[in-house]
Amino acid sequence: MKVLGHKLELLTGLLLHDVTMAGLQELRFPEEKPLLRGQDVAELENPDTFLSAVDTDWKEHDIETPYGLLHVVIRGSPKGTRPAILTYHDVGLNHKLCFNTFFNFEDMQEITKHFVVCHVDAPGQQVGASQFPQGYQFPSMEQLAAMLPSVVQHFGFKYIIGIGVGAGAYVLAKFALIFPDLVEGLVLMNIDPNGKGWIDWAATKLSGLTSTLPDTVLSHLFSQEELVNNTELVQSYRQQIGNVVNQANLQLFWNMYNSRRDLDINRPGTVPNAKTLRCPVMLVVGDNAPAEDGVVECNSKLDPTTTTFLKMADSGGLPQVTQPGKLTEAFKYFLQGMGYIAYLKDRRLSGGAVPSASMTRLARSRTASLTSAGSVDGSRSQPCAHSESSEGLGQVNHTMEVSC
């Protein structure tokens, strides 16, 4: 595999045998600028850029869980056994600040209109949230994960494809470890599988004494280089974090995230009875992100046959904001790798508008050594890492590390 600028020739592991090698060799990630098409700095400083939705189909719900109410917004209704796309945001943000730019991107809408989309806000982080009372005990990271089955049950989801960023990626990974049959795939951006050591803990405490909470959170979201050079984007998020998210509630979430334990995962074969994520995983990090080391560490602990590691060039701590086009392209092929095929409007490849048709699950043959993991409805087959191709490609390995 060679990377020339932003050209990416995908390895066969990204897609299953349903997509031919000839087709792969022609696919490229287009160059995306740090700001979205048609946006300027003034727009990024406008709260409506983050908080407005492109349609009125979203419905808000407050769902009762064993650890308190959970605010979610949902669009669509479950369609048979098709999974829902469920997101979880990073600390300092909420679903709007974290995901609106990505999910409002035109090509991403072509994908998501075929799925139910459910955005989860961590307790007390949603827009307009009331401040928690004095003495409120914020749920632990494990308890945040244990709240999600209530969401799945409430809406009747069979299983989910999770998209998480930072703290949200940690929560979704923990959820997949506890409830593997409810998770079909995960996109984990900026995940850090390690808990804070004493030195890190002390440094965080000291930072809290010398910096405001928004500035402390910004150092988690952005690299030092971004904080210095990308002042417009950083200033916009400083304003949003300070004005949109309840600061007392944010402090509780921030404290709990920094008290997290190590994710109990190890690459199969490295230790006896190793636990790891059983579903396909796409790890995503910008090449200028503060979470890069943590994502690399996570990659070393996952099953290489079901893991894709995507390092995005010219991208910092928020690739879903600065590079939504590249991330959309990667997500489309991740879905195809799990057996979903997309017929999407793609002006770059076709030279013109192609009507969107559908996204359907493809039937795939399996090798005799593979077994299907039963789902909550007893009919689901777990995505496999090795498939027997009708086109003679043989076994396909998902293991790859790419830059784009």
CA distances to 122, 139, 199, 376 from 147, in Å: 10, 9, 31, 17
Give helix 213-221 / helix 231-244 axis angle, nearest 10°.
130
CATH of the domain at 86: 3.40.50.1820
Q: Are strands 84-88 and 160-165 parallel, antiparallel or unpaired?
A: parallel
Token digits of residue 227: 């904080």
CA 79 to chain centre: 22
Query: How far is Cα 330 from Cα 102, in angstroms, rounded to an integer?
Result: 12
- pLDDT value of residue 190: 98
Residue 351 lies in a domain: no
Q: Are strands 7-8 and 359-361 parallel, antiparallel or unpaired?
A: unpaired
pTM: 0.76
The answer to whether residues 342 and 328 touch, using CB atoms and an 8 Å cutoff, is no
Structural domain contains residue 394: no
Query: Which two structure tokens, joined as six digits, stand for 71?
Result: 């605010």
Region at 312 (left for phi over 0; alpha for psi -120 to 50; beta for the rest): beta
Query: For 129-176, what is each residue's pLDDT tens digit?
Result: 999 999 999 999 999 999 999 999 999 999 999 999 999 999 999 999
Q: 67 lies in a domain?
A: yes
Task: Indicate the pairing of strand 307-312 with strand 281-286.
Answer: parallel
The span from the CA of 90 to the CA of 171, in Å, is 10
What is the structure's pLDDT at 78?
Answer: 83
pLDDT tens sequence across 221-279: 999 999 998 889 999 999 999 999 999 999 999 999 999 999 989 998 888 888 999 99
pLDDT digits (tens, 9 = 90+) for 284-322: 999 999 999 999 999 999 999 999 999 998 889 999 999
Tokens 């727009």, residue located: 43
Q: Taking phi first (over 0 means left), then psi (-120 to 50 degrees means alpha), and beta for anything else, what does residue 273 get?
A: left
CA atoms of 121 and 124, how far apart (whole Å):
8
Domain presence at residue 48: no
What pLDDT score was predicted for residue 130? 96
66 close to 146: Cβ distance less than 8 angstroms:
yes
- Paired tokens of 396: 């396909």
* Structural domain contains residue 347: no
Query: What confidence category does residue 38 fall into, taking pLDDT thresholds of 50, 70 and 90?
Result: very low
Distance CA 103, CA 88 (A): 13
Average pLDDT of the chain?
Answer: 77
Q: Residue 328: which domain range?
A: 58-195+246-338
> Could you give the percent of the chain with pLDDT greater than 70?
67
| pLDDT at 358 > cutoff 80 | no
Nearest to 111 by CA among 137, 142, 76, 136: 76
Give the chain's end-to-end CA distance (angstroms, integer).
11
Determine the residue type at 327: L
Residue 18, in any domain of the structure:
no
Q: In this structure, is residue 346 part of a structural domain? A: no
Q: How much is the pLDDT for 294?
A: 95
Answer yes or no: is 126 within a domain.
yes
Give the Cα-Cα-Cα angle 128, 259, 310 (nearest 5 degrees).
80
Q: Which residues, in sequence order, are CB contacts of 381 under 8 Å at separation 6+?
A: 366, 372, 373
The pLDDT-based confidence of 207 (bands split at 50, 70, 90) is low
- Number of structural domains (the chain) is 1
Q: How far is CA 140 from CA 81, 89, 201, 253, 345, in A?
A: 31, 16, 16, 9, 42
